[in-house]
Chains A and B, each alone.
Chain A
Amino acid sequence: MTVNGERYELLVDSRQTLLDALREGLSLYGTKEGCGNGNCGSCTVLLDDKPVDSCLVFALEADGHKVTTVEGLAKDGRLHPVQQSFMEHGSLQCGFCTPGFLVSAKALLDRNPNPTEHEVRLAIAGNLCRCTGYDKIVRAVMDAAAQGRGQRTAG
């Protein structure tokens, strides 16, 4: 499979989830396991550019597919706009849920660079945060979208 643009060959046990393979097989510890059953979204990765809960995907199913984890968001040492915006807005406390939110937010902005607040809330409805109360997260995503638009108009 291709992870964050690099091709990997991995020997996995049939029972291993994509989440296990990323963490244990590839030492990509950004993706977190919260609930293990699809409810918290902390294990969110992009599978062929679509957000999925990697705890509910067997590693074998990803054979031949493209995976993007939170480690793949920054490019050439520069944070992704949504990462930058999370920092500026203080959109995290313990940070456990943050990688999942960042991946969900990136997928939303790729698909819809100009989301309404409602659309942002829908896109992250599958991500749970026990600390922040969500408002700062929503604001960060909206702001990253606005800045993306600014950059495009400027350039």
Chain B
Amino acid sequence: MREFEYAAPRTVKEAVALLARANGDARCLAGGTDLIAQMKEGRRSPSLIVDIKRIPDLMRLDYVERRGLRLGAGVPCSTIYEHPVVREKYPIIVDACSLVGSLQIQNRASVGGNLCNGAPSADTAPAFLALNATAVVAGPRGRRQLPLTEFFVGPGKTALAPGELLVEIIVPPPPARSAGNYLRFIPRNEMDIAVAGVGSVVVLGAKGVCKDARIALASVAPVPLRAHEAEERLRGRPLDAEAIREAGALAAAACKPISDVRGSADYRRHLVNVLTQRTLYACLKQLGVTGES
């Protein structure tokens, strides 16, 4: 590992100044579960590491009735899924965060790091995409907000400009009669990279009609993405078996998977179809509507 400088600033402003000074050769350090592993392998060798865990803004987790959830980029997964408000209002975040690696990993790994690492397989990405989350980013020219759908640019690439860091993720308050679920497929029970992952959020209107649906996919395209056509097909319709079957097929059509050691492209498309249907049924179950499965 190449030698590097280490800094643990106390404010976002200091962090931005440090990143600016390093001319793109610095990296933020949250839980380090991706970064330290990458540095050991020699895949990354920054000259400066900016540990963000001592910045209060990045370690905050709070919920405000009108604005929703503000999730600091550095908060570890276990703190998130143990939080009573998250458990009550955002079951899909609990699903996703409790899947990231082992307990040892979850005690360090942050959602910010998961998103900023930019892996197509990032398990928290579909959950936050389906929740219509917004990323708050700070940089030399101040703060900006962007919808999470614009955050992923390519494998390992995000919309963060050099010198920018992710401060927090804002998730709108859950609408009445909404539910969410994230499922992934891996070849073993714990600790593996998703072959496919699907997160769905459903909002029900009167008479079981679907008011809104958001479906997001991981591991099946160069970036995590939303399956817009599948969502469209559900809106304004009763969420019955036929609608759910069609949504599954449309979600499968929306992805652009590769074939690799974990699974062929066809297998992945099939998984997306099945997982999409299962997440939708899980949402109905959460809402107390008995769907067949």
A residues sitting closer than 8 Å to B (CB atoms) are 13-15, 17, 36-39, 41, 44, 47, 50-53, 55-58, 60-61, 63, 104, 122-123, 125-127
29 contacts between A and B (CB under 8 A): A13-B3, A14-B5, A14-B6, A15-B3, A37-B37, A41-B102, A44-B104, A50-B78, A50-B107, A51-B103, A51-B107, A52-B104, A55-B36, A56-B31, A56-B37, A56-B105, A57-B108, A58-B36, A60-B6, A61-B8, A61-B51, A63-B8, A125-B102, A125-B103, A125-B189, A126-B101, A126-B102, A126-B191, A127-B102
B residues sitting closer than 8 Å to A (CB atoms) are 1, 3-6, 8, 29, 31-33, 36-37, 40-41, 49, 51, 53, 78, 101-105, 107-108, 189-191
Shortest Cβ distance from B188 into A: residue: A125
CB-CB under 8 A from A56, the residues of chain B are: 31-33, 36-37, 105, 108
A14 CA to B36 CA, complexed, in Å: 12
A57 CA to B39 CA, complexed, in Å: 12
A123 CA to B24 CA, complexed, in Å: 39
CB-CB under 8 A from B36, the residues of chain A are: 17, 55-58
- Tell me if B3 and A52 are in contact (CB < 8 A): no
CB-CB under 8 A from A51, the residues of chain B are: 103-104, 107
User: With A37-B40, A61-B53 given, is the CB distance from A126 to B105 under 8 Å?
Assistant: yes
CB-CB under 8 A from A123, the residues of chain B are: 103
Shortest Cβ distance from B51 into A: residue: A61
CB-CB under 8 A from B104, the residues of chain A are: 38, 41, 44, 51-53, 104, 126
Partner of B105, one of A36, A47, A53: A53
Partner of B37, one of A38, A60, A125: A38
A104 CA to B106 CA, complexed, in Å: 13
A15 CA to B101 CA, complexed, in Å: 24
A44 CA to B108 CA, complexed, in Å: 12
6 nearest A-B residue pairs (beta carbon): A126-B102, A125-B190, A50-B107, A126-B104, A53-B104, A14-B6
New A-B contacts (10) at CB < 8 Å, excluding given A51-B104, A52-B108, A123-B103: A37-B37, A57-B32, A58-B6, A58-B29, A60-B8, A61-B29, A61-B53, A104-B103, A125-B103, A125-B191
B43 to chain A, nearest CB (A): 12
User: With A52-B108, A61-B51 given, is the CB distance from A126 to B103 under 8 Å?
Assistant: yes
Pick from A38, A51, A57 the residue with the most CB of B within 10 Å: A38
A17 CA to B40 CA, complexed, in Å: 10
A122 CA to B53 CA, complexed, in Å: 27
A44 CA to B102 CA, complexed, in Å: 11
B94 to chain A, nearest CB (A): 14
User: With A56-B36, A61-B53, A125-B191 given, is the CB distance from A38 to B103 under 8 Å?
Assistant: no
Partner of B4, one of A14, A37, A41: A14
A51 CA to B107 CA, complexed, in Å: 7
Shortest Cβ distance from B108 into A: residue: A52
CB-CB under 8 A from A36, the residues of chain B are: 40
CB-CB under 8 A from A53, the residues of chain B are: 33, 104-105, 108
CB-CB under 8 A from B190, the residues of chain A are: 122, 125-126
